[in-house]
Amino acid sequence: MADGAIQTNNSSGAAPPGSVRDLLRLWPWLRPYRGYLIFMLVTATLAMVVQSILPLVTAALIDGPIARRDTSGMYPLIGLALLFGVLEAVLFGLRRRAMTTSALAIETDMRRDFYQHLQRLPVSFHDRWPSGQLLSRVTSDLSTLRRFAGFMAVFFFANLAVIVVVLIMLVRLDAVLGISVCVVMAPLAIATRYYERQYNIEARRAQDLTGDLATGVEESVLGIRVIKSFGRRGQLLENFTSDAQRLREAELKKNRTLANLWTVIGSYPQLVLAGVTFFGVLAVAHGRLSTGELVAFITLQLRLNWPLMALGWLIAGTEETVAASARLFEVFDTKSDIIEPESAARLPVNTGPARLQFDRVSFRFPGAETDTLHELNLDIAAGETMALVGPTGSGKTILTALVARLHDVTGGAIRIDGVAVDRLALDDLRRTVSTAFEDPTLFSASVRENITLGLPDASDEEVREAIEIAQAGFVYELPYGLQTRVGEQGLSLSGGQRQRLALARAVLGRPRVLVLDDPLSALDVHTEALVEGALRRILSSTTALVVAHRASTVLLADRVALLDEGRIVAVGTHSQLLATNDAYRNLLSQKAETRV
Amino acid sequence: MTATDTPDGAINESQWRGRYDKREEDAVTEQPPAGRPRLEREARQLLGQLIRPHRRQIILVLALIVGQVSTTMLAPWLIALAIDRGMPQAINGHYRTLTEITGALLVAAATSGVLQWLFLRRSGTIGQAILIDLRRRVFDHSQKLSVSWHERFTSGRVISRLTSDVDTLRELLDASLDGLLLAVLNIVIISVLMVFLDPWLALMALAALIPLFALFRWFSGRSTVAFRRTRETVALVIVQFVETFNGIRAVQSFRREKRNDAIFEGLNQDYRDANSTVFKLHSVFIPGVTLVGNVATVAVLFVGGTRVAEGGLQLGVLTAFLLYLRQFYGPMEDVAIFFNSLQSATAALEKLARVLAEIPSVPEPAQPRALPQPVRGEITFDAVEFSYDAQAERPRIVLHHLDLQIEQGQTVALVGATGAGKTTIAKLISRFYDPSEGTVRLDGVPLAQLTDEDLRSAIVMITQDGFLFSGSVADNIAFGNPGASRAEIEAAARAVGAEEFILKLPEGYDTDVRKRGGRLSAGQRQLVAFARAFLADPAVLILDEATSSLDIPTERAVQRALYTVLHGRTALIIAHRLSTVEIANRVLVLDDGRVVEDGTPQELIEADVKSGGGRFAALHTAWRESLA
């Protein structure tokens, strides 16, 4: 297992600053829309051209017909001015339309790919990554990216072009003065570069802290019952406030860098202008330059102001986008360590129960120093039901997660019908193995959707059977029957009801291997007896591994394996173990309970 | 829910979402009970409240920007001066005036820079202060709201309010306010100048404000609806996202990925469509503003030109007018862009204002009554009736007229089938809900009259879900009593038998439990939750299925601990397994919201013999038979 490959990004540690390379990596998502992007660039440039022609038309009009007091001579030029005026607006509108289509599509595509990628990352990744960090990526980072793709990228180039053109014109107007301006402006580029880097690091930190804040929010909302129960509102607010304050400080740091950058970009050309005025007037005084030329030079140089200011703003936006892309690629670059086999093995064609073997299986949690499971051997024959019993913390839960490869073993192999699970295609494996977890997770969807989670095409008959086996007949009495929405956004069900739905989900379609993690813990005695009766029917036709805490559940099994400290210490029937094994007796004996 | 055509294999919501009752649908689509104007007013009011504390600062910021704009406007005038005055002298070899003017230019540039810097810093600080204020308000308010509100509103939606919606306001605050102020300042100053230059041309130029106004009105009306839709669709995207990754184990092991891909794509497309509507409005609105400006300029040019040709106007005046006009309409675009951000933020603020306007259904008392110390832990239900949907036409009553007295130090077990009302009683005692009728009292004081602090330090419930926060095991136990020392934390863990497994973790008490306690098994999480409650040391302890995932020896250890822990405390135990009930000295059997049996376990078992009833006795027999 490639442990440590994923580093939780702890925002207190400095994240590596992103680079422009991260922007280039966006290309695969931009590519499908490159036509739009070029169109946007073209229309933006055309609009700028039109914009600069309009004053020329005005000037021609004033110098020409108006100066000549020639009213009828005005019409063609007025017409032209009107045409250009309308054209500018139309070009503007067209560009915005193109932006709507492309930038939004790029954002939507990336969001889709991000979600799809995340769904396929292993459980160990999700355990490690704070949820808010993922959420902030899919919301605020993607919006940043959309703004960049739709707007900034185009203007970045357009503005750079304007600046270069103006500088060239300045040089052509007066070589000495023009080149001097270019040289004197050079430090601006250096200063910009400096602030840009600083801003990148600060933007990254602020984005990370935004993620931390989202994590805090999510926990405060999901844990609301515990928070209320202990009356810890004040403490939560305090934690939230300190998170929000850290974010504020990071934002203010960004703000300071930005203020520096913008002030430098805004004022420095003004200082240069003062110099140009001084030396320009001197040049005129010494007859090296005409007054008209000086005025033209200064007017032209003034036209640099806006594109420079805009550039300052665009640079900030670009750096934010760089940081956002770096954050996104951190996740995109994480490869699942639950790897699909290159050439998947096939299970022997058989629809009956499969044999399940644990062959010297070891497991170690990422970052732990000792194994949780030690070279564990267990052989469950096809059609057999094996109960797994052991004290809290002995490793039962992780063992159940290994079969469907939610985690990979760190040693040994788990085999189904003799084929190691990591040689099977994941889809095949998870179709063969069905698991009911100790936490019965329901999604905000209809009852039917929740039961047919793994088999959306299950027939009504199959669903009915699964409901019966799990004794979940209560669903028919819900307001809309199987169409009733349950889960967080729907009807809330009791723990016992949720557990029965999770059980129905697991037994649906009679899986060849069934793994049940303490499937009856939340049921009352009466329901438990009913479920046990129904479960027996399906257990006879499938191979099952059932984690059990109670004798009543153990009795469902043909044999029992006793797990202690990550090792199977005994295997036998319930009565055998009860008779021969002290630890087992201690674990399942009800003596202490029967004192009532 | 709207059903729209969705491309790319996205599936329609109606295929999976399922149905739920009317009231909840309202909560999902968030059809506000109030009309549109009221919503907008609420949003503006909220914005006003947020800004008010900073109004002095804002005036200062305004002054800074006025100063900055004025110094910037000085530059052209100084340059003209340099050419008109400085040049003739320079030609004569006198450079003093030129040097002075250049000096003034430098000073103006520097002053403008300093003022701009100050402006940026100050306005950034104010913006951040407003944001943190808003965040705290919404956060704290959402925490104040009752559990039932959270259940209805759903976690994903609260998260969306506190993240995505607040971000929208941030965008407004980031949107260059200086640009807006500059624009407005320009527009006002230039209007005045134009009127002085030529009233008739000025009137023409200003007439363009009428179509502009219409354009703004049109955009405002349409975009409000569209922006609202973006807020709603993004919330659904967030809800799906949060839910998927909280249930990732089930998603992966049941190969749910593909179907989720399709579901998410549907929501993703809805969000895109909502944004697309906004952008399309945009692509008419902003070029529209440009168009009005350009057409008006040409009109002025035509009329002015004609007048010049006829000799009614000086050429110089027309030239100046046209130059001003450019600066008059140009900034209108900035105003339009700002207006757009404002509309977007208003839609988000509406949502936030709605959350803030929610009145907690379980409010803290305005005039609390003191709880007599020491707390005895006596619980009284006085004619309590409860329904989860009390407002409905035919509410489903969960508890019918319950009178109950739980004495100090009693350990009461609640027994009964699913839906009998056990958990409801527990939730009423811990005041997650208030009764629809009647009163619940602690030591004679109605719960509704106790401060949250008094109530929560006296009554603690260990809930079924036993939520763990990210952080170490020790942090999670300390949640029960934030002031506890490490020794006390460890003692609590030891007392409930959790220490054994904790010490086996890689870093013992300092082991990170990972997201939602993913590092631990359900049983281990229950033990941590138990230790947490133990550390809180309440007078009344409620255990709702708190030991269901424990193995028998551990459960026994917990029960042994409970014998000592519960001594002198009142306890309410809900458990399906009678083994957990054995430490109780009183059993209440519930059926359909009524107490049908009440007595010591022994009495109830014997009741079987005397009378025909005996549900507990029957349960007890069934349970004994289920034992191996």
Mean pLDDT of chain A: 86
Short-list A471, A210, A464, CA closest to A324: A210
**Which of A148-162, B269-283, B569-583, B603-617 comes out lowest in average pLDDT?**
B603-617
**Residues B128 and B232 grouped into a single domain:** no
Quick check: is A128 in a domain? no
DSSP state of A539: H
pLDDT of residue A440 exceeding 90, the answer is no
Q: What is the structure's pLDDT at B490?
A: 94
**Across residues A333-347, what is the average pLDDT?**
85
- Domain range enclosing B307: 187-361
DSSP state of B365: P
Q: Out of B361, B394, B418, pick the residue that ends a domain.
A: B361
pLDDT of residue B184 exceeding 80, the answer is yes
CA–CA dist B463, A226 (Å, integer) = 7
Q: What is the structure's pLDDT at A14?
A: 47
pLDDT-based confidence at residue A593 (cuts at 50, 70, 90): very low
Residue type, position B622, single letter:
A
Short-list A444, A117, A112, CA closest to B239: A444
**Across residues B551-578, what is the average pLDDT?**
80
**Residues B427 and B504 grouped into a single domain:** yes
**Residues A455 and A570 grouped into a single domain:** yes
Total count of domains within chain A? 2
Closest chain B residue to A294, measured at CA = B83
Count of pairs with CB atoms under 8 A, one residue in A, one in B: 545
Only one residue has tokens 């907008």, namely B40
**Residues A329 and A418 grouped into a single domain:** no
Pairing of strands A373-380, A356-363: antiparallel
CA–CA dist B574, B461 (Å, integer) = 11
**Residues B206 and B261 grouped into a single domain:** yes
Q: What is the structure's pLDDT at A4?
A: 32
CA–CA dist A527, A472 (Å, integer) = 10
pLDDT of residue B107 exceeding 90, the answer is yes
Q: Does B461 touch chain A (CB under 8 A)?
A: yes
Quick check: is A190 in a domain? yes
Q: What is the structure's pLDDT at B285?
A: 92
**Residues B613 and B470 grouped into a single domain:** yes
**Across residues A163-192, what is the average pLDDT?**
88
Which has more pLDDT, A376 or A149?
A376
**Residues A303 and A443 grouped into a single domain:** no
Q: What is the structure's pLDDT at B177?
A: 67
Residue A403, Cβ density class (10 Å: 0-12 exposed, 13-18 middle, ≥19 buried): buried
Q: What is the CATH number of the domain that holds B231?
A: 1.20.1560.10
**Residues A433 and A467 grouped into a single domain:** yes
Closest chain A residue to B522, measured at CA = A438
Q: Distance, in angstroms, between B309 CA and closest chain A CA? A: 4
pLDDT-above-70 percentage for chain B: 91
ipTM over 0.90: no
Q: Does B518 touch chain A (CB under 8 A)?
A: yes
pLDDT of residue A5 exceeding 60, the answer is no
Quick check: is A536 in a domain? yes
Quick check: is B21 in a domain? no
Q: Which of A97, A109, A225, A298 to mutate to test the interface with B (most CBs of B within 10 A)?
A: A225
Determine the longest span between alpha carbons in chain B, in angstroms: 129
Q: Name beta bridge partners: B599.
A: B587
Q: Distance, in angstroms, between B298 CA and closest chain A CA? A: 6
**Which of A31-45, A437-451, B380-394, B607-621 comes out lowest in average pLDDT?**
B607-621
Q: What is the structure's pLDDT at B496?
A: 84
- Contact between B245 and A228 using a beta-carbon 8 Å cutoff: no
**Residues B601 and B458 grouped into a single domain:** yes
Which has more pLDDT, B23 or B165?
B165
| A454 → closest Cβ in B17, B112, B255 | B255
pLDDT, tens digit, 9 for 90 and up, residues B454-473: 898 899 988 777 788 888 99
| B515 → closest Cβ in A127, A527, A587 | A127
Q: Which of A63, A110, A228 to mutate to test the interface with B (most CBs of B within 10 A)?
A: A228
pLDDT-based confidence at residue A387 (cuts at 50, 70, 90): very high
Q: What is the structure's pLDDT at B445?
A: 92
- Contact between B112 and A223 using a beta-carbon 8 Å cutoff: no
Q: Model's pTM, two decimal places?
A: 0.88
Quick check: is A181 in a domain? yes
Q: Which of B61, B79, B131 to mutate to test the interface with A (most CBs of A within 10 A)?
A: B79
**Across residues A184-196, what is the average pLDDT?**
89
Pairing of strands B397-406, A419-420: unpaired
Q: What is the structure's pLDDT at B178?
A: 66
Q: What is the structure's pLDDT at B359?
A: 87
**Residues A463 and A407 grouped into a single domain:** yes
pLDDT-based confidence at residue B540 (cuts at 50, 70, 90): very high
**Residues B320 and B418 grouped into a single domain:** no
List C-alpha distances in Å: B205 to A57, A79, B299: 19, 19, 9
Q: What is the structure's pLDDT at A209?
A: 94
Considering only CB atoms, which chain B residues are within 8 Å of A228?
Answer: 147, 430, 432, 456
**Residues B385 and B351 grouped into a single domain:** no
Q: Distance, in angstroms, between B483 CA and closest chain A CA? A: 11
Total count of domains within chain B? 3
- Contact between A244 and B280 using a beta-carbon 8 Å cutoff: no
- Domain range enclosing A521: 356-591
**Residues B332 and B305 grouped into a single domain:** yes
Quick check: is A62 in a domain? no
**Which of A133-142, A534-543, B160-169, B512-521 comes out lowest in average pLDDT?**
B512-521
Q: What is the CATH number of the domain that holds A435?
A: 3.40.50.300
pLDDT-based confidence at residue A594 (cuts at 50, 70, 90): very low
- Contact between B521 and A393 using a beta-carbon 8 Å cutoff: yes
**Residues A274 and A233 grouped into a single domain:** yes
pLDDT of residue A1 exceeding 50, the answer is no
- Contact between A128 and B515 using a beta-carbon 8 Å cutoff: yes
**Residues A556 and A490 grouped into a single domain:** yes
Quick check: is A490 in a domain? yes
pLDDT-above-90 percentage for chain B: 27
Considering only CB atoms, which chain B residues are within 8 Å of A97?
Answer: 280, 283
Quick check: is B11 in a domain? no
Q: What is the structure's pLDDT at A72?
A: 82
Which has more pLDDT, A326 or A454?
A326
**Residues A277 and A313 grouped into a single domain:** yes
Q: Does B479 touch chain A (CB under 8 A)?
A: yes
**Across residues B362-380, what is the average pLDDT?**
87
**Residues A413 and A467 grouped into a single domain:** yes
**Which of A25-34, A155-164, A420-429, A582-591 comes out lowest in average pLDDT?**
A582-591
**Which of A392-406, A408-422, B321-335 comes out lowest in average pLDDT?**
B321-335
Q: Does B24 touch chain A (CB under 8 A)?
A: yes
pLDDT, tens digit, 9 for 90 and up, residues A502-547: 999 999 888 899 999 888 887 877 788 888 888 888 888 899 999 9
CA–CA dist B596, B613 (Å, integer) = 9
**Which of A345-349, B92-96, B142-146, B203-207 comes out lowest in average pLDDT?**
A345-349
- Contact between A263 and B482 using a beta-carbon 8 Å cutoff: no
Which has more pLDDT, A351 or B103?
B103
**Residues B409 and B467 grouped into a single domain:** yes
**Residues B234 and B136 grouped into a single domain:** no
**Residues A302 and A403 grouped into a single domain:** no
**Residues A498 and A576 grouped into a single domain:** yes
Q: Distance, in angstroms, between B523 CA and closest chain A CA? A: 6
Q: What is the structure's pLDDT at A237?
A: 93
pLDDT, tens digit, 9 for 90 and up, residues B31-54: 444 456 677 888 889 989 999 999
Element (H, E) at B328: helix B315-357
Quick check: is B119 in a domain? yes
Considering only CB atoms, which chain B residues are within 8 Å of A223?
Answer: 467, 469
**In this structure, what are the phi and psi dihedrals at residue A374, rounded to the nearest 5 degrees?**
-115, 110
Mean pLDDT of chain B: 84
**Residues A321 and A368 grouped into a single domain:** no
Note the residue count of chain B: 628
Cβ–Cβ under 8 Å, residues A316 and A255:
no
Closest chain A residue to B290, measured at CA = A89
Q: Distance, in angstroms, between B4 CA and closest chain A CA? A: 17
Quick check: is B15 in a domain? no
User: DSSP 3-state assignment of A571?
Assistant: strand
Concatenate the DSSP letters of all residues of A216-272 into one string: HHHHHHHTHHHHHHHT-HHHHHHHHHHHHHHHHHHHHHHHHHHHHHHHHHHHHHHHH
**Long-range Cβ contacts of B297-302 (<8 Å, 24+ apart):** B297/A81, B297/A85, B297/B322, B297/B325, B297/B326, B297/B329, B298/A78, B298/A81, B298/A82, B298/A85, B299/B204, B300/B201, B300/B204, B300/B205, B300/B325, B301/A58, B301/A61, B301/A78, B301/A81, B302/A74, B302/A78
Q: What is the structure's pLDDT at A13?
A: 41
pLDDT, tens digit, 9 for 90 and up, residues B544-562: 887 777 777 788 778 877 8
Q: What is the structure's pLDDT at A159?
A: 82
User: DSSP 3-state assignment of A26?
Assistant: coil
Q: Out of B361, B390, B423, pick the residue that ends a domain.
A: B361
Q: Which of A145, A298, A596 to mutate to test the interface with B (most CBs of B within 10 A)?
A: A596
Q: Does B550 touch chain A (CB under 8 A)?
A: yes
Which of residues 250 through 309 in chain B touch A, CB cutoff 8 A?
250-257, 259-261, 264-265, 268-269, 271-272, 275-276, 279-280, 282-284, 286-288, 290-291, 294-295, 297-298, 301-302, 305-306, 308-309
Q: What is the CATH number of the domain that holds B574?
A: 3.40.50.300
**Which of A566-580, B282-296, B565-579 comes out lowest in average pLDDT?**
B565-579
Q: Out of A335, A367, A399, pick the residue that ends a domain.
A: A335
pLDDT, tens digit, 9 for 90 and up, residues A9-66: 443 344 556 677 888 899 999 999 989 888 988 888 888 888 777 777 877 887 788 7
**In this structure, what are the phi and psi dihedrals at residue B594, rounded to the nearest 5 degrees?**
-130, 150
pLDDT of residue B26 exceeding 70, the answer is no
Considering only CB atoms, which chain A residues are within 8 Å of B361?
Answer: none
pLDDT of residue B264 exceeding 80, the answer is yes
pLDDT of residue A274 exceeding 60, the answer is yes
Quick check: is A409 in a domain? yes
DSSP state of B146: -
Q: Out of B78, B112, B144, pick the residue that ends a domain.
A: B144
pLDDT-based confidence at residue B610 (cuts at 50, 70, 90): low
**Residues B407 and B321 grouped into a single domain:** no
**Residues B506 and B456 grouped into a single domain:** yes
The HSE-up count of residue A316 (CA atoms within 13 Å, CB side) is 20
Q: Distance, in angstroms, between B557 CA and closest chain A CA? A: 10
Quick check: is A538 in a domain? yes
Residue type, position B330, single letter:
G
Which has more pLDDT, B173 or A594?
B173
Which has more pLDDT, A298 or A7?
A298
